[in-house]
Structure 1
Amino acid sequence: MQLSFDVLILGAGWTSSFLIPLCKKRSLTYAATTRNGRDGTLKWAFDPDSDDESLYAALPDAKTVVITFPITKSGASERLVRLYSKTRKNGDRRVGFIQLGSTGVWDGQRKGTARNTAEPPKPVANKWYDRHTPVGTGERAIAETELLGLFPEFRTTVLNLAGLWGGQRSTRNWVGRVAPTKETLKNKGSIHMIHGVDLARCILAVHDSFEKAEGQRWLLTDGRVYDWWDLASAWGLPSHKPEENGPAEDTHRGPHPRWVRELMDETGVRALPRNVETLGRAMDSREFWRTFGLSPLKARLE
């Protein structure tokens, strides 16, 4: 096995399906881990409570370590960073650690309570958020803050990601789960997204210029604020089976276009998308794109 790589991906899941091809395209060396060692990956699992150095010594050296899984336990982020760095053969502490997080840190959401569900949304103020907005007090937010606190002894950064789409993740298929009833749809406001292709580009941009990112939290979206009413009206249910003698407008897209039209009449909305300032939370990710000199390639949803 190669002893040193440009990029080490801890947790080769959906993100790696975009990151690995881009590494290959740019002739960057990489290694990736999974719990079972599938598809040529290294078999490795993170134990947030273990101080066993042999778990980290088994990992190869890398210039940048990408942590794709959430860390929620206090002290676990520091344990990972310190033990990986300590077990490097040359004692190099200039490794860059990128933690992939979620925009849920701004509203206290935890893993498993993503916004593309029918769960009633948490009330949020109609306001703009950017990377400097104070995060909440959830477990992931605390763990990410601890990771950032390791700088400057260690090079760490956090990328808080909007909703992820691309490949097998199609936002069109979320409408039925997000808004199974008109009442649920009524309460839906904004949604923010970023495509896997652009996420991979952002990760490698940090890898190339880690000094611009270290010690800081970044917010990643495609630069747009989407309106759930707008999306539900346009897409409806892609696999909808019309009810016998159902309304003509529901034949192909289900009841969502009709629900949206009714809600617009009921609330005095004259056109879609609704004004950003009325949708609840609005995310401003301009600073990352400006700092790293990039623009999203996938700047609109499918």
Structure 2
Amino acid sequence: MPALLILGAGWTASFLLPLCRQHRIPFAATTRSGSNSTIKFHFDQNSDDSEPFKILPDANTVLITFPITNSGGSKRLVQLYKSTRAERDLNPAFIQLGTTSIWGNEWYDRHSSYNPDERSDAEDELLALSPGTPTTVLDLAGLYGGERTMKKWVGRVAPTKEVLRNKGSIHMIHGIDVAQAIIAVHNGFSKADGQRWLLTDGRVYDWWDLASAWGSGPVDASDVSEDCGPQATWVRELMRETGVRALPRSNETLGRVLDSREFWETFNITPLKGRMED
């Protein structure tokens, strides 16, 4: 029996599966296509048909990587999974991956009020199943790592000086740290049960700082033969216009600032990628 069942083996799984192997955690994973030795599975949020769930293996922890947005969807997934193995004495735990976008401006931590939407409502629905069913939500900051590098996004995020003028903070977390967070929760679920967590790498990044350093030119930082784009010039001009003397700007200027310390302290781990460099 796999200890961990990953529903939706996408980008996160590229970091999680190797770490599971390293920690000798048995796992199984699903995809819509069933490719690469995964189980073919699709969750219809509006269907009460248990048939698709019968093919899924029993597991101690079920990780839901895709968003659930329909009312009743979270409860339906849990009930259908558990009902298809009701004859066995199992009470699996469920982890839902979410997003930090529900929090607004100023300083926020996981206890702060947030702006509810369909996705957070579904997460609340999942959390409400605890303690009868162990559940938790990991709300993730922007994801990077592997082929997903923020250097590729500067030109899209700041295509003009006026767009860049209004860019403030950005919070990130590397895929390997998402993976180690999932394993930490899996190994110590009682610490997480019934709670929503906020996960970043512990830093607050300034879009002006990133745009100044990277621009919209070559992704390979060693390639100085090509123009790195106009963003660095725009940043210098904006600093003069707004009276910013050095980068990064202060937290008071950046707007939204997220505090994720409690998760790392609770599980006694530290981000392996404590600073975004790629």
5+ residue gaps in structure 2? none
Q: CA deviation at 1:93?
A: 4.7
Write out aligned runs for 1:111-126 (5 A).
125=105
Gaps of 5+ in 1: 108-124, 241-248
Q: Which residue of structure 1 lines up, in the alignment, with residue 107 of structure 2?
A: 128
Distance, in Å, in 1 between the alignment partners of 2:114 and 2:16 is 27
SS at match of 2:52: helix
What's the offset of the Cα at 1:50? 1.0
Aligned to 2:151: 172
> What are the equivalent positions in structure 2 for 1:53-72 lying under 5 Å apart?
53-72=50-69
Percentage of pairs with the same residue: 62
Q: Deviations over 1:86-131 (max 9, x none)?
A: 2225444521100000111225xxxxxxxxxxxxxxxxx3x11111
- TM-aligned CA distance change 1:85 to 1:205, over 3 Å: same
Tell me if 1:100 matches 2:94: no
Deviation at 1:213? 0.2
Q: Residues 136-147 of structure 1 correspond to what in structure 2 (within 5 A)?
A: 136-147=115-126
Contact kept in structure 1, 2:202 and 2:260, CA below 8 Å? yes
- Counterpart residue number, 1:265: 240
1:224-283 CA-to-partner distances (Å, cap 9, x unmatched) read 00000000000112339xxxxxxxx99621100000000000000000000012111000
User: Is 1:192 the counterpart of 2:171 in the alignment?
Assistant: yes
- For each residue in 1:52-104, what CA deviation from the matched residue of structure 2 results, as whole angstroms up to 9, or x when unmatched? 12221221000110000000001000000111112225444521100000111
1:299 aligns to what? 274
**8 Å contact kept, 2:218–2:226:** no
- Could you tell me which of 48, 59, 67 is aligned with 1:51? 48
Separation in 2 of the partners of 1:6 and 1:251? 49
CA distance change for structure 1 residues 131 and 152 in 2, over 3 Å: closer, same or farther? Answer: same
TM-score (norm. length: structure 1)? 0.88
Partner of 2:16: 19
Q: 1:159 aligns with which of 119, 123, 138?
A: 138
Q: State the number of aligned residues.
A: 273
252-261 vs 86-95, greater mean Cα deviation: 86-95
Contact 2:135 2:194 in 1 (8 A): yes
Q: For the Cα contact (< 8 Å) 2:110–2:197, is it kept in 1? A: yes
For 2:150 and 2:52, locate their aligned partners in 1 and report how far apart those are by CA, in whole Å.
Answer: 38
Is 2:261 the counterpart of 1:286?
A: yes
Residue 2 of structure 2: SS of its match in structure 1? strand
Q: CA deviation at 1:16?
A: 0.3
Q: Please, what is the CA RMSD of the aligned residues?
A: 1.5
| Counterpart selection for 1:207 from 169, 186, 189 | 186
Q: Which residue does the alignment assign to 1:218?
A: 197
Output the TM-score relative to the length of structure 2: 0.95
CA distance in 2 between partners of 1:283 and 1:235 (Å): 23
What amino acid is aligned across from residue 240 of structure 2 in structure 1?
Answer: D
Cα deviation code 1:197-240 (max 9, x no counterpart): 11100000000000000100000000000000000000112339
